[in-house]
Amino acid sequence: MNWVRLAAEIVRGAISTRPSRPPTTQDYIPRESPDLIDLIQQYRSQVDRGLAVLSHEIQDHNERQQRALRIQRRWNYGLLVGLLVLVVLVLALLMK
């Protein structure tokens, strides 16, 4: 990874941090309330949706990386072929 990019990400992360909020205290927490169960179900569904989105983003990132690696490999093979042709031409000219 490029050191300049790494430093920029560290600085960006340090700038974007927000001070933590003081914890809120609740005097009364209902023990067996249907509202509490509904809130837990909503939270679980939000977490599931968030994980699904995260998983999709990771898959997309992996596909982009694989595509970039294939392109890089093609360039490497092309440069190798060009170098070999150049070496053969130089050797042929030197043999004359």
Query: In this predicted model, what pLDDT tens digit does every residue of 38-91 receive, in sequence order?
Result: 888 999 999 999 999 999 999 999 999 999 999 999 999 999 999 999 999 999
- Cα(73)–Cα(67) distance, rounded to whole angstroms? 10
- Cα(88)–Cα(93) distance, rounded to whole angstroms? 9
Q: Is the pLDDT score of 19 beyond 60?
A: no
Q: Is the pLDDT score of 28 beyond 70?
A: no
- Cα(12)–Cα(31) distance, rounded to whole angstroms? 42
Mean pLDDT for the stretch of residues 3-18: 73
Q: Is the pLDDT score of 13 beyond 90?
A: no
